[in-house]
Amino acid sequence: MNTYRKIVITITLLALLALAVVPAFAQSATVTWTEEDINSSYRVTNPARRSVTNVSVDLQPEQVVVNATVTLRGKTPVDVVTTLTPSISNGRIFWTVTAVTKDGQPVSQDILNQINASITSSWRHYVKEHGRPGRVTAIEITDDTVTITYSRSR
């Protein structure tokens, strides 16, 4: 189960990384990515783990759905679907996994709690290492775009 959780976290982080980069050159700015931009990004087309294939990101109103196939050594391939929703706190985007299915079967709430705990610490570390100065003021997800509005710290 621990390996499965790591794979789900990896898939989730791939989607988040595609959405995380915000330029720091403006005092206030809005950045928009299309679903096509995200799905053609390097992290989606070239997952960090060879065991993860067929990754695609589906934008839906107010949520992101990541689909992937996970094939562990000596195991049957598993289709994994992860649903994430964003929230803003203290000028930062936080992602919450609201649902995960493995071959169409939902995982337990305990697994969701573990995934969210891991994402929170991984996301915090990523932002510390790669974040740019500024505060996110809004995020909007539609059927085909993600728009992030932010302002630079003064």
pLDDT tens for the chain, 154 residues: list them: 566 666 666 666 555 555 554 444 447 888 899 999 999 988 889 888 899 999 999 999 999 999 999 999 999 999 999 999 999 988 888 889 999 999 999 999 999 999 898 887 666 666 666 566 678 899 999 999 999 888 875 5
Q: In the β-sheet with 92-102, what is the strand arrangement from edge to edge?
A: 52-60, 63-70, 78-89, 92-102, 105-106
Whole-number pLDDT of residue 66:
94
Q: How far, in Å, are 2, 7, 39, 115, 138 from residue 88 at the CA level?
A: 29, 25, 24, 19, 7
d(CA 43, CA 145): 18
For 66, the 3-state DSSP assignment is strand
Question: What predicted TM-score, i.e. pTM, was given to this entire model?
Answer: 0.76
Closest of 48, 45, 38, 31 to residue 134, by C-alpha: 31
Dist CA 71 CA 122 (whole Å): 23
For residue 138, how far is the Cα from the chain centroid?
17
Neighbours of 123 (CB within 10 A): 19
* Per-residue pLDDT at 73: 92
Q: pLDDT at position 128, please? A: 64
Residue 112: what pLDDT?
93
Secondary structure (3-state) at 56: strand
